[in-house]
């Protein structure tokens, strides 16, 4: 595996495809995109290792490929469905041109366009290192049909485009959930360590959803204590299963919430700082600028 200092991180698919060694350049006008695999990858390719900070679903109708997540390698075949969530080190190889779809989206997109409590309904999205799911023809065809409908809507200029796409995507998620709940490989993926990670992400989500967020509740030790685990063991599990430390997950979540509040609300920066558990607004401003390269004011007014 490449040195971590040489590994690039991407926040959306179009950023990844800016690298001509990965795929065909695409345009992306929201945090959701769907692309035909045979168009963005029209030749065999082996990608470099990269970190994807977004969710993705892949539908493989035909072709031969593989993908890696952290240290795990999986092969695909016709009628394969697989998904990955943010934060992992990934790579992929296309050995014979793959026909199908790639769908990517952010956490912010899910909460804004699907449901604010989306992870309650679709907790499988938080599961780590899920093996590919090999569907029968009828089930795969259902997902393929939904993907065809979504990409058709994406190519339109309707003022309701994003609402229609998010509605179709909700149906897609429900269908995926239905199929995964019947898949033995997926059930095995819910091992003890995966359950620890899953619970950590749910706890992190619930803390930011609460109205009484305080700094000590965002400490790694607090999350470990909630699961009755030693902090060192808890930290090791989170790092080994996700490729990122628990602290990094907490920081990234804080930034996501701060971005949403700055861009979609009119409350003051001082109020935002306190709502995110900072004792002083200046501490929030320094934290935000360190991670985003902009002050909260600059981000809000850009």
* Count of the separate structural domains present in the chain: 2
Mean pLDDT split into 10-residue runs, the chain, 302 residues = 68 87 84 95 92 94 93 92 89 95 94 87 79 92 98 92 95 92 71 83 89 83 92 86 89 91 88 91 94 91 81
CATH number at residue 266: 1.10.10.60
Pair 150, 272 in one domain: no
Alpha carbons 182 and 180: distance in angstroms, whole number = 5
Cα distance from N-terminal residue to C-terminal residue, the chain: 38
Smallest CA-to-CA distance from 35 within 109, 105, 92, 96 is with 105
Pair 53, 155 in one domain: yes
Q: What is the pLDDT of residue 30?
A: 86
Encoded tokens for 11:
């926040």
Segments forming the whole domain that contains residue 220: 192-301
Pair 292, 155 in one domain: no
Alpha carbons 75 and 7: distance in angstroms, whole number = 23
Q: What is the pLDDT of residue 190?
A: 60
Q: What is the pLDDT of residue 287?
A: 94
Pair 223, 112 in one domain: no
Q: What CA–CA distances, in Å, run from 216 to 65, 213, 223, 239?
A: 45, 9, 10, 21
Q: What is the pLDDT of residue 100?
A: 97
């Amino acid at each position: 595996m490449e040195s971590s200092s040489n590994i690039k991180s991407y926040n959306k698919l179009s950023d990844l495809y800016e690298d001509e060694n990965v795929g065909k350049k695409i345009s992306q006008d929201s945090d959701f995109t769907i692309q035909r695999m045979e168009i963005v990858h029209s030749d065999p390719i082996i990608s470099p290792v990269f970190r994807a900070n977004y969710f993705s679903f892949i539908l493989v109708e035909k072709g031969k490929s593989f993908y890696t997540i952290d240290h795990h390698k999986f092969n695909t075949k016709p009628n394969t469905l697989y998904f990955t969530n943010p934060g992992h080190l990934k790579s992929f190889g296309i050995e014979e041109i793959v026909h199908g779809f790639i769908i990517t989206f952010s956490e912010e997109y899910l909460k804004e366009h699907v449901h604010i409590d989306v992870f309650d309904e679709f907790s499988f999205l938080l599961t780590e290192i899920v093996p590919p799911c090999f569907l029968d023809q009828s089930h795969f065809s259902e997902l393929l049909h939904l993907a065809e409908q979504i990409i058709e809507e994406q190519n339109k200029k309707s003022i309701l485009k994003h609402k229609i796409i998010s509605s179709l995507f909700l149906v897609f998620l429900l269908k995926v959930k239905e199929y995964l709940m019947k898949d033995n490989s997926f059930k095995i993926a819910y091992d003890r360590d995966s359950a620890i990670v899953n619970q950590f992400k749910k706890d992190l989500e619930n803390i930011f959803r609460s109205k009484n967020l305080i700094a000590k509740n965002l400490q790694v030790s607090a999350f470990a204590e909630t699961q009755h685990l030693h902090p060192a063991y808890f930290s090791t599990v989170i790092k080994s299963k996700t490729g990122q430390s628990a602290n990094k997950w907490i920081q990234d979540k804080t930034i996501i919430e701060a971005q949403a509040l700055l861009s979609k609300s009119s409350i003051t920066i001082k109020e935002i700082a306190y709502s995110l558990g900072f004792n002083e607004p200046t501490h929030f401003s320094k934290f935000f600028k360190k991670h985003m390269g902009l002050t909260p004011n600059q981000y809000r007014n850009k």
